[in-house]
Amino acid sequence: MAETFTPSGRPLWAEIDLDALAYNLRFLKARAGKAQIAAVVKANAYGHGAVGISRFLLEEGVDALAVVSTEEALQLRRAGITAPILVMGPTPPQDAPHLVELEVIPTIASYEGALALAEAAAQRGKVQPVHLKVDTGLNRFGLPPNEAVALAQAIRQMASLRLEGLFTHFASAEEGDKDYTIDQFRHFMNVCLQIPWVNLRHVANTATIIDMPELCLEMARPGLGLYGYLPPGMAASLDLRPVLSLKARLMRIIDVPAGQTVSYGRTWQAQRPSRVGLVPCGYADGLPRALSNRGWMLVRGQRAPIVGRICMDMTLIDITHIPHAQVGDEVVIIGRQGEEEVSAEHIAFLCDTIVYEVLSGIGPRVPRVFIKGGQVKAIETFAPAFQQYATTLIPRGRS
């Protein structure tokens, strides 16, 4: 079993299980067959820590990384990552020089964007690879099929651009009814037939890799599945392993007399003399305020209900029924402790949202502690000045 640690400073951290990540990657790669893997690490790797996740996935053999913005690509390049990075989202024309200098692969969805990249690449004596996104029915970002073909032909005439790939994104691949997904795929393949000089095509997200692996083509783009969860609507029968646990330590225990209230708005009143624990995690850290008086955390293997309103930086839990709980005890906010578990999926259910929002909402001030084989391998913090300080880890027993 892995040792349980507390980073120096505020006792709140996310543990990233690299063994679980490797397991999920192997599962998805097996489903994707011969397709290359572009691991989706946008939104700070769905809240898991983009730099640490990217480095590990590259060690495990992924072919490329996928982000959504110039800023996300810059973060990875500044961390020394040299692998191919696909920027899947829209980028303004003024980003073109930066994209060329970063040697990343932008997504094109307009003639103006293509021209800006062509000019920036020509000025630097480079040939810039790009991917073209086709909107086949999500109606969000990309070009309709006929316009995509026309732009591809225009790009072919630009000496400083090379159209390396074509892709689309499915609107409902996770649904049981696959008719719309199949229709989108047919539209996409019709476009590909008209652009035969491009031989790197990708459409498959996690849901597609699992349910329709025959659509993986030359490259697949797993996202949520890497981190151990399935998209809403899919049967939760697959043995994916959640990668992230969110943990803290009890910072204070308050004796609350019967009849007294706690936290803002006085929404919870003690019905008996109560012991209430202070947890240094609030909505600024990504704990949904909608869990106020609804959710629970785990202390000494038991559920401790959240009482009162969740605050920006702190949350209160009822530990009256856990008499041996003491300051310094580990609190599991997301994850498993003993026989109990609080999953990100359950939090999403209680908050009427999706697991994507719960995971990606975990804030940047929460250190990410990367663990492999029970040992801490790296730590990511939002403040570089705090990085060295945070690496002082205090063993606190075993979980």
Domains delineated in the chain: 18-227 (3.20.20.10), 250-366 (2.40.37.10)
Active site residue 111: no
Report DSSP letters for 223-255, one per residue. -GGGGT---TTS-TTS-----EEEEEE--EEEE
Using the predicted structure, report yes or no on whether residue 398 has a pLDDT greater than 50: no
Confidence band for 233, pLDDT divided at 50, 70 and 90: confident
Sorted by sequence, the CB contacts under 8 Å of residue 141 that are 6+ apart come out as 89, 90, 109, 133, 135
Q: In 3-state terms, what secondary structure has residue 302?
A: strand
Which position among 23, 29, 178, 264 bears the catalytic label?
Answer: 264
Q: CA 107, CA 155: separation in Å to the nearest integer? A: 12
Q: Residue 6: what pLDDT? A: 56
Q: Residue 239: what pLDDT? A: 84
Q: Residue 383: what pLDDT? A: 62
Instruction: Classify strands 315-318 and 274-279 as parallel, antiparallel or unpaired.
Output: antiparallel
Which position among 42, 133, 178, 247 bears the catalytic label?
Answer: 42
Active site residue 42: yes
Confidence band for 10, pLDDT divided at 50, 70 and 90: confident
Q: CA 43, CA 226: separation in Å to the nearest integer? A: 14
Q: Of the ranges 60-64, 130-134, 302-306, 393-397, which one carries the lowest mean pLDDT score? A: 393-397
Side-chain half-sphere exposure of 142, counting CA atoms within 13 A: 24
Q: CA 189, CA 210: separation in Å to the nearest integer? A: 20
Confidence band for 9, pLDDT divided at 50, 70 and 90: confident
Q: Residue 395: what pLDDT? A: 38
Q: In 3-state terms, what secondary structure has residue 341?
A: strand
Q: Of the ranges 233-237, 328-332, 354-358, which one carries the lowest mean pLDDT score? A: 233-237
CA proximity to 20, closest of 373, 280, 389, 262 = 373
Per-residue pLDDT averaged across 306-313, rounded? Answer: 99
Q: In 3-state terms, what secondary structure has residue 94?
A: helix
Mean pLDDT of the chain: 94
Confidence band for 67, pLDDT divided at 50, 70 and 90: very high
Q: Residue 8: what pLDDT? A: 59
Q: Would you say 310 and 300 are in contact if contact means Cβ atoms under 8 Å apart?
A: no
Q: Which token pair is 356? A: 């994507």
Helix extents (H) in the chain: 18-32, 42-47, 50-59, 70-78, 96-102, 111-123, 145-156, 179-193, 206-211, 344-350, 355-360, 384-390
CA proximity to 283, closest of 255, 251, 311 = 311
| Residue that has been written with the tokens 């001030």 in this structure | 365
Q: Which token pair is 333? A: 């906010």
Q: CA 343, CA 349: separation in Å to the nearest integer? A: 10
Q: How far apart are the first and last CA of the chain?
A: 7
Q: Residue 353: what pLDDT? A: 97
Q: Which token pair is 156? A: 């072919």
* Alpha-carbon torsion angle 111, 116, 120, 122, nearest 10: 40
